[in-house]
Structure 1
Amino acid sequence: MDDIDQSQASGARAAEYYDSAWLDGVELPGTGIVGLMLGDQLHPPMVDDDGVWGSGPRWVEGARECTRRLARLAGIGPDDVVLDVGCGVGGAVRQVSAEFGCRAVGLNVSDLQLRTAAGLGGPAGRIAYLRGDAQRIPAREGAFTCAWTFNMFYHIPDKPRALREMHRVLAPGGRLAFDDWVLTRAADAADQAELRHHWSSPDWMTDAQLLAALHDAGFDLRGEPVDYTHVGEGVMRRLFTPTYDRDFAPRIAALDARWGKRMADDFRDAVEHTIDLYACGRLRYLQLVAAKR
């Protein structure tokens, strides 16, 4: 299979994953269980805050702070044109545009998520959405000043190619703003297999592989990566399960008489597995900014 076919296959795989993320009673189509907990912010609230982790309704508040934190790290402002690669239902697109005054475009392979994103509105004239694959971005060279990828890079099969594509669509000196979990050298094949099982992702990079791929794609780090692994091995380890079991698991179970409890249990297992990996030094959670050479 050649590179183009691989790109198309990865897009179809990711689209199928999100387009099937249905659950009766969830307000945002295409978000499933995660949307029930986090609204339009489809990423974990990696904040070192007992108050956030101890209260389910505040998880979305923590997730929004993570979005805000990366935007500040990247220095996003009114002159920027941001491409959110893998934008979900546009939570970050709307937030960074509203709070930082930039123009923002959300890229996604999921038709369902794009429809949901468009229906949620946002700052008039400053946001738009584009259907496409991260490995073959349908945009001209130099179209954006910042490429943004938030807790979705692990879904991409050919990660070096996606980084080269983000580099291509950035203007000279443009920035890549990155947030995601990455493995460490201590992780083994069994860890990879269980992560694939829980999160339907094809391959996971290590932190060293990520930094090497960024350099090879033509990026230079702006400062050191900011590591939030301590959140996973600390407050998240203490409070995720009791808060989830109190505030979300019963609601998920009630939404589907046949499969609801199973879905709730499977999601708990998936998150607890990532927490175990943080605690034993096999998984890190990073935010970083790199500039196009």
Structure 2
Amino acid sequence: MAMMVLGWGLSLLGLLLLAGIGLYLLSARPYRSADSVANSYDQWTEDGILEFYWGEHIHLGHYGSPPQPKDFLKAKVDFVHEMVRWAGLDQLPAGTRVLDVGCGIGGSSRILAQDYGFSVTGITISPQQVKRAQELTPTGLDVQFLVEDALAMSFPDGSFDVVWSIEAGPHMPDKALFARELLRVLKPGGILVVADWNQRDDRQKPLNGWERLVMRQLLDQWSHPAFASIEGFAELLAATGWVEGEVITADWTEPTLPSWLDSIWQGIRRPQGFLRFGLAGFLKSIREVPTLLLMRLAFGVGLCRFGMFRAVRAAASPLATEVSAGVATSQ
């Protein structure tokens, strides 16, 4: 009898997994416009499934170098502190004005305000994320959240001491404009720090057939128009003419890699989520598993890389730089 019940259970699980894969194949979410990104995040925020499993931080965790076993949610918090230290933001005074571009439901923004005393403005294109971020933020914390398009921000030039962004770049169709906007709103001498999913630089090694197929799925399933390479985005930042010295980059693929399988393990370790969100929620969760596995594959074999970027805003504008270069050439 017990074997029969087990057999029925495994059969049901198999059918559910097949249903999830079917949903994955039939319900892609390709990038079409900024609205498609906003709508995707609105839906993920409204149903609460992503927050239940990923917590307040919709980004990868940091597991150390070499990676060590760590709680998935704690690794995400650790990532924020590691990013702060890597960029040297822990040396800045309380009251430093920080813009969090692509803030999600505000997890990083709250840490930057609570633990470092910064004055933080978080922006996202999703109204539902702003609403949820506000609900999660304690009264009195120096944080505000706004609906903004990162490619056309309403802030005046030089509004912030620090511009911070985690995993927002893949949603940007115009990477050069994204680079300009990030630096435009940064004051001279201010620090830009970006963490992003990146593709291998295909100028050095073109993608083969299976790699193009994998990248197409990674783009279409999560509303991404394109991934930049680490080298390519660093070049775009430098090309603005607003960078003092060099753009500093680092590859954090190794310390973030365990996040992909850990995110799947969350569903196994916390089965109460299936009861909380019902069959529809279970199927929505299952449909993300193939993408998570493809992400693990892509980052594991070097097709994708986790890039870190740090730049200091120069005092001169691009126009002034061009004029100076013209004068030097004429002399």
- Shorter chain as denominator, the TM-score bin is 0.7 to 0.9
Amino acid of the structure 2 residue aligned with 1:215:
A
Question: Which structure is larger by alpha-carbon Rg, 1 or 2?
Answer: 2
Shift in Å, 1:62: 0.5
Equivalent pairs counted in the alignment come to 270
The TM-score, its normalising length taken from structure 1, stands at 0.83
Shift in Å, 1:266: 2.3
Out of 212, 224, 240, the position equivalent to 2:262 is 240
Asked whether 1:71 is paired with 2:95, we answer no
Shift in Å, 1:264: 2.6
Report the counterpart of residue 230 of structure 2 in structure 1. 207
Report the counterpart of residue 43 of structure 2 in structure 1. 20
Shift in Å, 1:172: 0.3
- Counterparts in 2 of 1:32-71, with a 5 A limit? 32-33=49-50, 35-48=51-64, 49-52=67-70, 58-71=71-84
- Counterparts in 2 of 1:123-272, with a 5 A limit? 124=140, 126-184=142-200, 185=202, 186=205, 187=207, 188-217=211-240, 218-220=242-244, 224-231=248-255, 235=258, 240=262, 243-244=265-266, 246-248=268-270, 250-272=271-293
Out of 258, 274, 285, the position equivalent to 2:295 is 274
Aligned partners of 1:149 and 1:179 also within 8 Å? yes
Q: Could you report, residue by residue, the CA deviation over 1:255-293 in whole angstroms, capped at 9, with x for unpaired residues? A: 444433332322221111111112221111122211112
Q: Could you report, residue by residue, the CA deviation over 1:42-68 in whole angstroms, capped at 9, with x for unpaired residues? A: 11113234331xxxxx21110011011
**RMSD between aligned alpha carbons?**
2.4
Aligned partners of 1:82 and 1:147 also within 8 Å? yes
Instruction: Give the Cα separation in 1 of the matches to 2:131 and 2:264.
Output: 34
Q: Could you report, residue by residue, the CA deviation over 1:226-256 in whole angstroms, capped at 9, with x for unpaired residues? A: 32212455x457x6377345214x3444344
Distance 1:275 1:126, change over 3 A: same
Query: SS at 1:20's partner residue?
Result: helix
Instruction: Give the Cα separation in 2 of the matches to 1:59 and 1:98.
Output: 21
Q: Which runs of 5+ in 2 are unaligned?
A: 1-31, 315-331
Moved over 6 A (4+): none
| Identity among equivalent pairs (%) | 22
Instruction: Give the Cα separation in 2 of the matches to 1:183 and 1:93.
Output: 27
Instruction: Give the Cα separation in 1 of the matches to 2:303 and 2:98.
Output: 32
Q: Which runs of 5+ in 1 are unaligned?
A: 1-8, 27-31, 53-57
Aligned partners of 1:221 and 1:289 also within 8 Å? no
Shift in Å, 1:215: 0.9
Query: SS at 1:166's partner residue?
Result: helix
Shift in Å, 1:22: 4.9
Amino acid of the structure 2 residue aligned with 1:292:
R
Instruction: Give the Cα separation in 2 of the matches to 1:85 and 1:22.
Output: 17
